Amino acid sequence: MGGGTEAFPDLGKHCQHLDCNQLDFLPFTCDGCHKVFCLEHRSFKSHSCPKSDDKSRKVVVCETCSMAIETTGYNGEDEKAILEKHEKSGNCDPRKKKKPVCPVRRCKEVLTFSNTSTCKTCQMKVCLKHRFPADHDCKRVAPPRSLSSSVAAAAGGRWTDRFLAALASRNGKDCAKNGSRSNSPPSSSPSVKVH
């Protein structure tokens, strides 16, 4: 069955679905039956392809260890027999099934690569909902011993407490470049003379 139009006979192909026969300028060739189809009939299911399972892979999931076992090469074998063979092989370990879960009470979120956050204060791995110290039971790590006692007491607290402790540890020193605070009143003479 040719394609194209009278002016361009080699352009496009007709859909080989029995009820369609639409001229398609970007046709699809089926991997199973090697026939040409339009966009609407390109899937195995839409054109009822008789060879749809030829290149597909099939797996069965073990309920004990959550391991996927490929069943593609086992023609005629029952899935139960494949699972029994897997359990007897020694590769079936129930400990593999447990996935890490957020440790916050009543949170059942499974921790994956994309939704895991490590608390900077207590180094606990939690889900994104509980990433802030106030949202999980944050047990603060002891601060380093080199800090003064007032700063050390506030180092694990909120940022306002840490700020106030740092302010108190300065002992009234100014942060200006010259290191001393100028308490003299501003001079009455202008800094710029006008002529």
Q: What DSSP string runs through the chain?
A: ---S-SS-TTS-EE--STTT--EESS-EE-TTT--EE-STT-STTTTT-TTTTSS---EEE-TTT--EEE-SS-SS--HHHHHHHHHHHT---GGGTPPPB--STT--PBP-SSSEEE-TTT--EEEGGG-SGGGTT--PPPPPTTS-HHHHHHHTS-HHHHHHHHHHHTTT---STTSS---SPPPSS-SS---
Domain ranges, residue 80: 59-96
Q: What mean pLDDT comes out for the span 14-35?
A: 89
91 and 114 fall within a common domain: no
Do the domain assignments include residue 180?
no
91 and 112 together in one domain: no
Give me the pLDDT at residue 91, please.
Answer: 80
Question: What's the rounded mean pLDDT across residues 50-79?
Answer: 75
Within a domain: 42: yes
Residue 192 lies in a domain: no
Based on the fold, state whether residues 91 and 104 are members of the same structural domain.
Answer: no
User: Residue 30 maps to which CATH number?
Assistant: 4.10.1110.10
Q: What is the mean pLDDT of the chain?
A: 76
Average pLDDT over residues 76-88: 81
Asked whether residue 182 is domain-assigned, the answer is no
**pLDDT over threshold 90, residue 186:** no
Whether 189 maps to a domain, the answer reads no
The predicted pLDDT at position 146 comes to 46
Distances (CA, A) of 170 to 33, 135, 146, 173, 174: 82, 33, 16, 5, 8
Q: What is the pLDDT of residue 191?
A: 58
Q: Are residues 63 and 78 in the same domain?
A: yes
Domain assignment present for residue 187? The answer is no
> Cα(130)–Cα(104) distance, rounded to whole angstroms?
8
In a domain, 21, yes or no: yes
